Amino acid sequence: MSDTVMNQSIDSVMKTYQRFPVTLVKGKGSYVWDDKENKYLDYTSGIATCNLGHVPENVHQKLSEQLEKLWHCSNLYEIPSQNQLAGLLTENSCLDQVFFCNSGAEANEAAIKLAKKYAKDKGHPERTEIVTFQQSFHGRTGITMAATAQEKIHHGFTPLTQGFRYLPYNDLSSLEQVHNGSTTAVLLELVQGEGGVNAADSEWINKLAEICKEADILLMIDEVQTGMGRTGTLFAYEQYGIEPDVLTLAKGLGSGFPIGAMLAKEEAGASLQPGTHGSTFGGNPLAASAGIATIETILKEDILSKVKTNSEWLKQQLEAIMQEHDAIKDVRGTGFIIGVEFDSEAASYIQAFREKRVLVLSAGANVLRILPPLTTTKRELEDFILLFKEVMTEGGNKS
C-alpha cells in the first residue's frame, strides 16, 4: 500500500483515540513488532487482554481447528463450545450461569439489566438505583458511561442515563449510605484500573458484601481487567473471601479475540429469561473456542503461581527504585496490574519507555500502569527493571 493510500486510510478512521506514533504489525509472546521491524517489550498486554502473550500456541491451535468447522451460528441453536466454556467458568468460580457477549461494556450492561429485572422480580419496584464508586470505570456505552464515576468520561455527554449513585471508594463511613431503600445492586472493581490502579481494602469490601447480603442487594464485581489470572488468582474476588452475585469478564477471556461474559448465581440469573436479553455474536463458536483454550492453558500450565511469584519480585524492585527517586510517590497494585504514581504527569515516562522499545500505559494523569503478560519470563522482567532504572536516571528524577 502506498504512503498516500495509507494516509487516506488513516484519515478515514474516526479520531476517537489519541494514538501513539507506532504501527504494530506482528506479535509473539511478550513482544510486538512495528512496520519498521522495531521490536518492543509489550507490558500493556493489549490493556490486560493478551494475558497469555501474543498469539499463544494453544489458543492459535484451537482457533485454527474451529476455523475449519464453523465460524458463526445463531444463539437460537445449541453451541457446544459455548456450553463447554460456560462449564469451565462456573466450575472454577462461585457462579452458576453465564451470558456471553462481545466486550466488557456489554457484560456490564447485561449485569445492569439483570439488576433492574431482579428488583422487579423480587417485588421491589422502588429499587431503581445501582451504587458505583468514584474513580471507577465500567465502559463507554451510554449506560456504562453513566455507571462510571469519573467526570472526564461524562464530559460532553450529559444528560446521563439515570439510576446510578456514586460513593467514595474504600471509605468505610460511606457504606451506611449503600442501603437507602432504593438500591438494587452495587457494581465495583476490586482493582480500579483506569481510575489509578486502586485495590479494594479487605475490611471495606467484606463489610460491603455483608451489607449487600443482609439487604438482598446484588453484589456485582467488574473483573473485565482483573479476571483471567491477572491478579494471581483466576478471579480477583477469590483473594477477598467474598462471593459476588454477578461477575463480568472480557479482555483476557479470549486472549485478544473479542468475547465478554456475565456470570450470575442461579437466583439472580433466573431474572433473565428468553426475550429479555441477547447478543448476535455473543459466545459464537470462534469466540468460545478462544475462551476454552485460554482458561485451560491458565489452569493446566501453573501460570497463576508464576504470576504470584514474579509479580511480587517486580513490585519489590519497583519499590526499591522508589526509594531512590523522589519523583515516584507510590507503587501499588495486585499481581500483574501495577501502578507507579509520579509527582507529575506519566506521559513523559511513557514516551521515554517507548523510545527504549517498551510499551506501558497510564491510569489517570500521574500513574504509570504496568500490565505484563502472565507468561512473561524472569529475564524479561529483569530487562524491564534495568530500563526502568535508566528512564529514572536519565530524566525521571524530579527531586
pLDDT tens-digit map of 164-183: 999 999 999 999 999 999 99
Sorting pLDDT into bands at 50, 70 and 90, what band is 37? very high
Report pLDDT digits (tens) over 238-279: 999 999 999 999 999 999 999 999 999 999 999 999 999 999
Looking at the chain, how many residues does it have?
399
E strand map for 66-157:
97-101, 129-133
Sorting pLDDT into bands at 50, 70 and 90, what band is 6? low
Report pLDDT digits (tens) over 83-114: 999 999 999 999 999 999 999 999 999 999 99
**Taking the mean position of all CA atoms in its chain, how far away is CA 267?**
26
Q: What's the DSSP call for residue 160?
A: P
**3-state class (DSSP) for residue 186:** strand
Query: Contact, 315 vs 339, CB < 8 A?
Result: no
Reading the block at residue 300, the C-alpha cell is 493446566
pTM, full prediction: 0.94
- Fold classification of 57-300 (topology level): Aspartate Aminotransferase; domain 2 (3.40.640)
Task: Report the alpha-carbon angle 308-311-316, nearest 5.
Answer: 120
Task: Please determine, for residue 398, whether its predicted confidence score (pLDDT) is greater than 50.
Answer: no
Report the number of secondary-structure helices (H) and strands (E) in the chain: 13, 17
Q: What share of the chain is helix, strand, coil (3-state, %, to 5)?
A: 40, 20, 40
**Which residue's C-alpha cell is 474476588?**
237
> Assign residue 324 a region: left if phi > 0, alpha if psi is -120 to 50, beta otherwise?
alpha
Query: Contact, 108 vs 139, CB < 8 A?
Result: yes
Sorting pLDDT into bands at 50, 70 and 90, what band is 369? very high
Reading the block at residue 170, the C-alpha cell is 474504600
Reading the block at residue 200, the C-alpha cell is 479494594
Average pLDDT score over residue span 3-32:
83
Q: CA 115 to CA 262: how far, in whole Å?
A: 12
Reading the block at residue 141, the C-alpha cell is 456505552
